[in-house]
Structure 1
Amino acid sequence: MTIRINNITLDIDDELELINKKIAKKLKMPEVEIGKIKIVKESIDARRKNQIKFNYCVDIEHKEESKLVAKLNDKDVKIETTKYNEEFQFGNKKLKHRPVVIGMGPAGLFAALLLAKKGYKPLVFERGEAVDERTKTVENFWKTGKLNTESNVQFGEGGAGSFSDGKLTTRIKDTRCDFVLEEFVKAGAPEEIIYKAKPHVGTDILKGVVKNIREEIKKYGGEVHFNSKLETVIKRDGKIIGAIINGNEIPCEALILAIGHSSRDTYESILNSGIHMIPKPFAIGVRIEHPQSLIDFNQYGNYSNHPKLKAAEYRLTYQSKALERAVYSFCMCPGGVVVGASSEEERLCVNGMSYHARDKENANSALVVTVGPNDFEGSSPLSGMEFQRHYESLAYKLGGENYTAPVQLVGDFLNDKNSTKLGKVNPSIVPAYEFRELKNCLPHYVIETLKEGLVDFNKKIKGFSDDHAVMTGIESRTSAPVRIERNEKLESISLSGVYPAGEGAGFAGGIISAAVDGLKVAESIMKEYAQK
């Protein structure tokens, strides 16, 4: 057990060593009696822009934790006992075959890691390439417009997160989050992700991290196969008995389906195999870019260039009463770039990406509007997916049918005018852009909600709706368009032995939550089956 202390504050120019004195004062004891200190969380309090502070939560070791905490009777000081327990009661059924993991995004990666560490020797199949080869393929697409539909920004080792900001924030409260962060650090991520309030790795570092986790899986007896695509599953009497990978039958009775939110052909295949799924809401819109200096000044005022402060972030939401829709910022990338993120021929979508330093000229974020089954045509479980495809096809045609993205300045967007020249913001999109009216590749109700949202967001961040800010279309892969329904054992409700997991199954919304879901399904398998 440790003592957890909340609300230790330092002024922006204080040295970190002062934290010992603050802790001693809080605990009413001499500094020399304080044991080992571990920073659990560091956040920035910028509510007063002329008096920015750092707020800390720390753990300390003490030989008489309970007595000290009881004596202080301080709500900020408590005993901390919660920690992820990897040890649990394993099942007694025998696996005839090794468990199979489909997909190497966060869910598949961490499911495979835990299974491997516990002796289950999983077989892992990823349709895309290993991250180094995948990086070359993606960079070639950005340079030439030549798309590889099997290995791209969406598919390949590390999942879509490998070409993003590598954000590790999550709203879920689960002790498995700490396990995920610790494994990231072991694999080469900066130690600061353990305690930063808004941790991120950056795409440059994340690529090395996922490679190291892959090697850890292999070290414990797992096998990893790239360029290996799930084509269909084989079933008998309501149970899975195998999977067809690249034309080859792989027998299995436990399969983790961690396919990511863009594996549309896989959705079609498994639906045809009888795996039950339903359409779910998601959001669609654009990427918006501003000078990072604008966001920094709005957040930090005159401290915006302070060496202790990194590129500022924002999170914005607005509810349109008239249109009964929400518009919000999503996957905000400070000091980042906008990139082409297509995975299907003749369909265009974009995403945001940052390197660890977050030192590029622009800030970018998705600005998206909620859509749901009532907006989709037909009653198919894949109607939301077809909705995405339709608007991505329009964006592709609007840009010139060569993966060039349509771009419009905010002032022109609000006034229904096509842009003809840039202002203060240079679009960062690769491979290329063309001035086009975005209303021609998005639903009218999305356009109108975006307009309302822009007006409201300008009240919260002065200059947000500046005429020169740049909008790039379209952002359509915010989350999965389906949910693959599962039971209390986390198995598919229609096919025993299939464990849908992560963002692609509709049960997560980011790197950490997807990784946590992967751990959960791995645990479920291990609680059913004995170690090999």
Structure 2
Amino acid sequence: MLRITELKLPLDHAPAALPAAICQRLNIAPEDLMAFEIVRRAHDARKKSGILLIYSVDVTLKNEADVLARMTHEPSVRITPDTEYRFIGTTLANNGKHRPVVIGAGPCGIFTALILAQMGLKPIILDRGKVVRERTKDTWGLWRRGELEPESNVQFGEGGAGTFSDGKLYSQIKDPRHLSRKVLTEFVKAGAPPEILTEAHPHIGTFRLVTMVEHMRRTIEALGGEYRWQTRVTDIDVHVASDRIRSVRGLHLHGGGYLEADQVVLAVGHSARDTFEMLHERGVFIEAKPFSIGVRIEHPQSWIDQARFGSCAGHPDLGAAAYTLSHHCANGRTVYSFCMCPGGRVVAAASEPGRVVTNGMSQYSRKEFNANAGFVVGIDPERDYPGHPLAGVELQRRLESLAFVAGGSDYKAPGQKVGDFLKGQASTEFGEVLPSYKPGVHLTDLSACLPDFAIAAMREALPIFGRQIKRYDHPDAMMTGVETRTSSPIRITRGKDMQSLNTQGLYPAGEGAGYAGGILSAAIDGIKIAEAVAQEWVEVAP
């Protein structure tokens, strides 16, 4: 089977145009094309002459060897890669170890547990939050009534922070082993729409993610995995044999329980601040890492569709338009769009009392009125929070506390119209764009919630982004603060064996440990971590 890439056709092409384009690319007669399958579809809206659909297809031919030999110098034609996932070994070894423990049931924890369960290792999964249905009710409590449940919210509970998001399933990471294919295939088994296997920028949406997470839990349990909910790890028992040899011996649990463990996966997510503090106190190597701060910015989705697609806006093959923007500012900062949610809403994402955090979410249909995205400024430890591995955490907390006060101290978020933000004056009334954030937005001046350098950079970037996307800097566009959880503010350093640099048996994993950003990359990291854990349990396949 051969794979052909970069087949470009007009948006409204006839069904017969694709096989015709295949034959033309390969210079073969139609009868020589036995079958074809679309493996990827994207669109290119950059040219004013019209939007193009770009296909990658796998083809079955009568004379494949002859065609391949003739197309040796054509980079868009090659043998179809093998994307099947293969486990690292098959024969279990009786090594006397305890069952592997996975802390956290977000995307990374789920895929770590799934791979371990599929290999017969029967992991124990601990999560401080609740099962996803109960967690959803608690999350609505904050959104609808302003009541925060610190252990069950957008950040904590089954499915992790990705459950209440757009459900994007694409990443910039290199994937030579095609682990993303394993992730997407498991998602489809769990109920995701099959088109996520072919779309260039697939997404799922919150409601579908809820049912998929439940399905994957049942799969893991059927394979011998064990979940323990509302089980927060309060301390880690580390055996210190010497200055250079430290190893995990067990976990102390909230309520006084103790769990013996010698292989512990830390898939705790980017908001497990108390866990970061505990690990630092126990001497686990942690370093501060860069992240970003800013706001959520909202525009009517129709504005974004028109700016990106022109007269093709609303076409069913295109869906709701997205965007990616970036600008390097005069003060040395970079402002960029983050986690863009077409046809979605801004949501309350706090996990600690007395603090306000925003995030974005979409359903699969992406049919809500507004588009939203993080409008954020990059920061780094050397310049902005030097001196301590957890200084970034304290910066997040300070900004979120300022936002809580600026929003009225009742979990409403501080908001400001773009026009007023550019003029440096507080907003007093809403304009054409109404904010979607619940439990509500209190109009104010966002400069009270963010550092001066961030405000200056954002003011510089807005008109520049407005030249790239018409009406991006419209005076009535809404900004809601603050966005501080763009990524983990720390990295739990690990070695090539995926274990902590100074604590054997501890496997830092996913976004919270500083090794992923988003659902797909976190899930891929979970697979790699599971393989590292399993190295001590199986005879590795040759």
Using a 3 Å threshold, how does the CA distance of structure 1 residues 17 and 265 change in structure 2: closer, same or farther? farther
State the secondary structure of the residue aligned to 2:480: strand
Q: What amino acid does structure 1 have at the position aligned with 2:128?
A: R
Question: In the alignment, which residue of structure 2 is the partner of 1:61?
Answer: 60
The letter for the 2-side match of 1:198 is: H
* Offset at residue 459 of structure 1 (A): 1.4
433-442 or 4-13: bigger deviation: 4-13
Counterparts of residues 4-19 of structure 1 (less than 5 Å)? 4-19=3-18
Call closer, same or farther: CA 1:17–1:100 in 2, change over 3 Å: farther
Give the TM-score, by structure 1 length: 0.97
Separation (CA, whole Å) in 2 of partners of 1:226 and 1:32: 58
Tell me: CA distance 1:447–1:213, structure 2 relative to 1, closer, same or farther (3 Å). Answer: same
1:377 deviates by: 4.6
CA distance in 1, matches of 2:227, 2:129: 12
Q: Secondary structure of the equivalent of 1:334?
A: strand
Q: Which residue of 1 aligns with 2:382?
A: 374
Change (3 A) 1:505 1:494: same
> Partners in 2 of 1:377 and 1:271 — Cα distance?
17
Report which stretch shifted further, 326-335 or 245-254: 245-254
- 1:107-506 correspondence to structure 2 within 5 Å: 107-174=108-175, 175-236=178-239, 237=241, 238-246=246-254, 247-320=256-329, 322-377=330-385, 379-506=387-514
Q: Report the CA distance between 1:69 and its aligned residue.
A: 1.1
Using the TM superposition, give the Cα deviation of residue 35 of structure 1 relative to its aligned residue in structure 2, in angstroms. Answer: 3.7
Amino acid at match of 2:276: Y
State the AA in 2 paired with 1:462.
K
**One-letter amino acid of the counterpart of residue 368, structure 2:** K
Amino acid at match of 2:238: K
Unaligned runs of at least 5 residues, structure 2 = none
With over 3 angstroms needed to count, the CA separation of the structure-2 counterparts of 1:487 and 1:142, relative to structure 1, is: same
Amino acid at match of 1:206: L
Give the equivalent residue in structure 1 for 2:87: 87
Post-superposition Cα deviations, 1:46-81, rounded to whole Å, max 9, x if no partner, equal 122441121101112346544321123332111123
* Structure 1 spans left out of the alignment, 5+ residues: none
1:223-275 deviation digits (Å, cap 9, x = unpaired): 11211111111121311011122321111111110000000011111111221
CA shift for structure 1 position 528: 2.4
CA displacement at 1:378 relative to structure 2: 5.4
Match of 2:167, as an amino acid? G
Q: Is the 8 A contact 1:49 1:299 kept in 2?
A: no
> Letter of the aligned partner of 1:283 in structure 2?
S
| Segment drifting more, 498-507 vs 34-43 | 34-43
Give the aligned residue type for 1:130: V
Aligned counterparts of 1:394 and 1:471: Cα–Cα separation in 2: 16
For 1:473 and 1:22, how far apart are their aligned partners in 2? 49
Segment drifting more, 383-392 vs 246-255: 246-255
Give the alignment's Cα RMSD to 1 decimal.
Answer: 1.5
What is the Cα deviation at residue 494 of structure 1?
1.4
Structure 2 residue matching 1:269: 3-state secondary structure: helix
* Offset at residue 524 of structure 1 (A): 0.8
Report the more deviating stretch, 64-73 or 383-392: 64-73
Q: Are 1:491 and 1:498, in contact at CA under 8 Å, matched by a contact in 2?
A: yes
CA–CA distance in structure 2, aligned partners of residues 84 and 369 of structure 1 = 39
What's the CA shift string for 1:310-348, capped at 9, x where partnerless?
Answer: 00000000001x311100000000000001100001011
Q: By how many angstroms is 1:10 displaced?
A: 2.1
Aligned-residue identity in percent: 44
Compute the displacement of 1:388 (Å).
Answer: 0.3
Aligned to 1:75: 75
Q: Determine the C-alpha separation between the residues in 2 that align with 1:377 and 1:508.
A: 21
Secondary structure at the aligned position of 1:459 is classed as helix
User: Separation in 2 of the partners of 1:372 and 1:323?
Assistant: 14
CA distance in structure 1 between the partners assigned to 2:515 and 2:146 by the alignment:
32
* Structure 1 residues 348 and 95, CA gap change in structure 2 (3 angstroms): farther
- The answer for the alignment partner of 1:104 in structure 2 is 105
Q: 1:193 to 1:471 in 2, by over 3 A?
A: same
Q: Give the superposition deviation at 1:203.
A: 0.8
- Would you say the 8 A contact 1:408–1:418 is kept in 2? yes
Q: Confirm or deny: 8 A CA contact 1:329 1:365 kept in the other structure.
A: yes
Question: 2:440 & 2:273 partners in 1: Cα distance?
Answer: 25
C-alpha deviation, 1:111, in angstroms:
0.5
Give yes or no for contact 1:50–1:301 (8 Å, CA) kept in 2. no
Partner Cα separation in structure 2 for residue 382 and residue 34 of structure 1: 60
Contact 1:93–1:528 (8 Å) recurs in 2: no
Shift of 1:16: 3.6
CA–CA distance in structure 1, aligned partners of residues 386 and 39 of structure 2 = 49
Q: Deviations over 1:328-372 (max 9, x none)?
A: 000000000001100001011000000000001111000000111
Instruction: Judge conservation of contact 1:49–1:302 (CA < 8 Å) in 2.
Output: no
Contact 1:66 1:79 in 2 (8 A): no
Which amino acid is 1:227 matched to? Q
Cα contact 2:304–2:469 (8 A) shared by 1: yes
Give the aligned length: 529
- Partner SS, residue 503 of structure 1: coil
**Aligned counterparts of 1:36 and 1:430: Cα–Cα separation in 2:** 50
In the superposition, relative to structure 1, how do residues 11 and 291 fare at CA in structure 2: closer, same or farther (>3 Å)? same
**Contact conserved, 1:398 with 1:406, CA < 8 A, in 2?**
yes
- Amino acid in the other structure paired with 1:190: P
245-254 vs 373-382, greater mean Cα deviation: 373-382
CA contact (8 A) 2:129 2:152 kept: yes
- Mapped to 2, the partners of 1:357 and 1:250 lie a distance apart of 43
Pairwise CA distance, 1:89 = 4.1
Structure 1: distance between partners of 2:474 and 2:203: 28
Return the letter of the residue paired with 1:217.
I
